[in-house]
């Protein structure tokens, strides 16, 4: 390489010899020979693999290594000691292993609507909080009374907190409620209603407590104040404080708390659903099941001038047909019994024969409890979204 060094008195040509490795790009663009298996074996021989040993690495039989057996036993002893200390301080069963407590299975009881029990996997859960909400005259109270009747049939006790002061004993008796043994509380304010419900729940002798409704739980300060006074968040604070206490008590006592709620509308909402439930959002978080009820139809009297009931989608005949308890053809048949030709006549036959209807209902419920294959998403989807036909609404 020629390099010229400029100076005011002397100009001399200089030749500099640079080493070959001074140009890294020259070696970079050279084509390297491909790697072969011999190169890989040679590299493996030069650098043998090192196995990292972990003291918690399981052996073939699933046990820990011999070095960690003593440490594992010490950890188990410390765990058992800590659990015993907690149980001795806070009571037996405060902390336990899930396998010894019977697993995470939640018991249920019938709601009075067979199709709803099928969708819920057996019925309403015990020891949990359930919210039922919907518009007016949609059947919220009717569903509640049916659930109370089912609890009483099983030998349990039920309580109705009638905050709306609109309980109808004649209508409840017509739905199968044992009015004489029903515990009814008509509170003066929201604090009284929730305290009474919590006290009955802690007794451990109540299986179902129904609060009708959350919207009627008026705080004491609001009752003592003047009409039109601005009091923000009183009901939401009341519900939040009460549910924090009642949720744990209900779980320990195995008591189901069923809250009925009404729908309100937000102002100034142009996009989305403007419907909200009263009482704030605490009930949404504490509720294990939230049921939205919409009116599907009404049952008219013979003359057609009076509403005598509400129609529901699906009935015992549909569930029995789905589970192959009742065979469908030109005639509906159950064993040796021919129920009728066509769906309407089969339903009328079941109405006229309550013993046979009870037998089919018992078989369907036992299959719902024992066999999970009937509780799949396909069956529930087909049940919850039937074709829009007036004939699908029946009172059974």
- Farthest-apart Cα atoms in the chain, separation: 131
Q: Which residues pair with 337 in a beta bridge?
A: 334
**Residue 332 exposed, middle or buried by CB count within 10 Å (0-12, 13-18, 19+):** buried
Contact present, 132 and 144 (Cβ < 8 Å):
yes
pTM of the model: 0.72
Which stretches in the chain have pLDDT values below 70?
1-68, 101-104, 314, 371-396
**Residue 166 exposed, middle or buried by CB count within 10 Å (0-12, 13-18, 19+):** exposed
Beta-carbon contacts of residue 303 (< 8 Å; ≥ 6 apart): none
**pLDDT score of 51:** 54
**pLDDT score of 98:** 80
Concatenated DSSP letters of 307-356: EEEE-EE--HHHHHHHTTSSEESSSEEETTEEEESSHHHHHHHHHH-HHH
Cis-peptide into 316, omega within 30 deg: no
Beta-carbon contacts of residue 141 (< 8 Å; ≥ 6 apart): 212, 260
Residue 234: other Cβ atoms inside 10 A: 16
- The residue with tokens 């400029």 is 6
**pLDDT score of 289:** 96
**pLDDT score of 46:** 53
**pLDDT score of 313:** 72
**pLDDT score of 256:** 97
């Amino acid at each position: 390489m020629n390099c010229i060094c400029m100076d005011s008195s002397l100009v001399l040509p200089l030749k500099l010899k640079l080493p070959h490795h001074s140009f890294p790009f020259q070696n970079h663009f050279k084509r390297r020979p491909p790697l072969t298996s011999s190169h890989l074996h040679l590299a493996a021989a030069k650098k043998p693999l090192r196995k990292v040993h972990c003291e918690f690495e399981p052996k073939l039989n699933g046990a820990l290594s011999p070095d960690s057996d003593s440490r594992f036993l010490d950890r188990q002893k410390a765990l058992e000691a800590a659990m015993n200390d907690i149980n001795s301080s806070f009571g037996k069963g405060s902390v336990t292993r899930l396998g010894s407590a019977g697993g995470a299975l939640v018991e249920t009881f019938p709601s009075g609507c067979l199709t709803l029990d099928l969708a819920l996997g057996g019925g309403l859960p015990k020891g949990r909080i359930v919210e039922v909400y919907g518009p007016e005259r949609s059947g919220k109270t009717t569903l509640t009374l049916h659930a109370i009747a089912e609890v009483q049939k099983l030998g349990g006790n039920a309580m109705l907190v009638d905050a709306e002061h609109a309980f109808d004993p004649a209508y409840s008796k017509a739905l199968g409620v044992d009015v004489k043994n029903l515990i009814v509380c008509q509170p003066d304010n929201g604090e009284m209603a929730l305290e009474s419900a919590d006290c009955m729940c802690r007794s451990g002798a109540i299986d179902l407590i129904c609060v009708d409704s959350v919207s009627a739980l008026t705080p004491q300060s609001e009752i003592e104040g003047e009409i039109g006074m601005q009091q923000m968040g009183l009901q939401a604070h009341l519900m939040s404080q009460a549910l924090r206490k009642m949720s744990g008590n209900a779980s320990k006592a195995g008591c189901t708390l069923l809250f009925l709620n009404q729908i309100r509308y937000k102002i100034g909402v142009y996009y989305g659903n403007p419907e909200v439930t009263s009482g704030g959002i605490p009930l949404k978080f504490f509720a294990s099941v939230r049921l939205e009820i919409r009116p599907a139809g009404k049952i008219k009297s013979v003359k057609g001038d009076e509403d005598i009931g509400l129609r529901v989608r699906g009935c015992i005949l549909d569930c029995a047909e789905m589970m192959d308890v009742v065979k469908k053809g030109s005639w509906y048949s159950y064993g040796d019994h021919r129920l009728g030709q066509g769906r309407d006549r089969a339903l009328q036959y079941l109405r006229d024969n309550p013993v046979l209807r009870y037998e089919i209902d018992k078989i369907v419920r036992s299959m719902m409890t024992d066999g999970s294959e009937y509780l799949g998403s396909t069956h529930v989807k087909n049940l919850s979204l039937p074709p829009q036909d007036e004939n699908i609404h029946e009172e059974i």
